[in-house]
Structure 1
Amino acid sequence: MQTLSFKNFNIIPINANDAWPLCNFMSANEDRLKRYFPKTLQENLTPSLAKSFTDKKVKQFQLKEEFLFTIKEKQSNDVAGLIYIKDLNWTTKQAEFAYCISYQFESKGITTKSVALLSDYAFETLGLKTLQIIVHKDNLASVAVAMNNSFTWIKTLKNEHTPPNESPLDMELYELYYEME
């Protein structure tokens, strides 16, 4: 896959050289990530953990089991965010987006634009037919990403996500369907 670009950012498949930048991203954004990305956070708290994580994610990408992309600032090449295309079902041609953005890049439309570009990639290149975003109703920025990309609210998923040391949370399911033009 070639790099997708917009404004001052590149969307790039995870690669082995991302371990240090990913560890730095996780450390700088630990408070933001601990509720909705606890596993990714735990797997990237040290450079050696991040190396194992990136190696695993590169392999999953190559095997088309899961696709993890970094959003990098062009000038610094720092990781500004992550976007997963995960929970792939190749039979039904369905997958879910999960995304996070660094605190210094929030509210700039970067995640919205990245999801738009990767939705096209998922439909046109991967051949998927349904994309999902699952968010908590109070995560207004994430709800906005779904709405700004024409995802439709489908239903509330009861007890869908259990953050560390919290009770299970109901989450909202949004979907976007491939429409041939």
Structure 2
Amino acid sequence: MSDSVIIEPITKEDHDGVFRLVEADRARLQTYFPVTCAHCSDPRATRNYIKEMLVRSKRREFFCFVMRDYEGGDPIGLVFLKEFDWTVPKCETAYFISSIYERKGLTSLGLYWAVDHAFTELGVEKVFARVVPENIASHRVLENCGFEREGLLRSDFRASDGSLHDVYMYSVLR
């Protein structure tokens, strides 16, 4: 935790707040978080999505953390740890924050906390992220958290409209 943001594992009780978070920025999130947007179509669907996440968390396949402002309340952002390869061991991270809270350093705090959790609690040796070249703000978040750009992966991400996008691969080692 920090003075400006609370970061904690998602719970079943977060379904209404997560739905409101996604709904408020759906147009912005749809392209790069199509799965989350599809599963958060209404509060009931969001509740089922969170239940699925919690089951996958118990199997060490997927983790979701909520960011809240320092006063608590509804989630203001989410950080995911996913795509685990336990033979390395490594995982991918993805994250977003409400447009209201952008450019305040809170996304970096959430990501830093999740990466530390991956290293210290889960025993991961590498955390990576894939980011489209035009998302300069996300490049800064990753670099602020110690990630290094490894290279460009061509046509490596399919957006919600079906188009393929190049992505930069970033990673940080334990």
TM norm structure 2: 0.96
Q: Residues of 2 paired with 1:76 and 1:117: CA distance? A: 17
Q: Residues of 1 paired with 2:9 and 2:88: CA distance? A: 24
Q: Residues of 1 paired with 2:57 and 2:159: CA distance? A: 26
SS in 2 for 1:79: coil
Q: Which residue of 2 aligns with 1:75?
A: 71
Structure 1 spans left out of the alignment, 5+ residues: none
Cα RMSD (Å) of the superposition?
1.1
Alignment of 1:99-178 (within 5 A): 99-178=95-174
Q: Residues of 2 paired with 1:17 and 1:159: CA distance? A: 37
Q: Which residue of 1 aligns with 2:23?
A: 27
| Identity level (%) | 26
Alignment of 1:29-108 (within 5 A): 29-108=25-104
Q: Letter of the 2:56 partner, please give it.
A: Q
TM norm structure 1: 0.92
Structure 2 spans left out of the alignment, 5+ residues: none
Paired residues, what number? Answer: 174
Q: Residues of 2 paired with 1:79 and 1:25: CA distance? A: 7
Which has the bigger relative contact order, CA under 8 A and spacing at least 6?
Answer: 2
Q: Residues of 2 paired with 1:113 and 1:59: CA distance? A: 26
Q: Residues of 1 paired with 2:4 and 2:171: CA distance? A: 28
SS in 2 for 1:95: strand
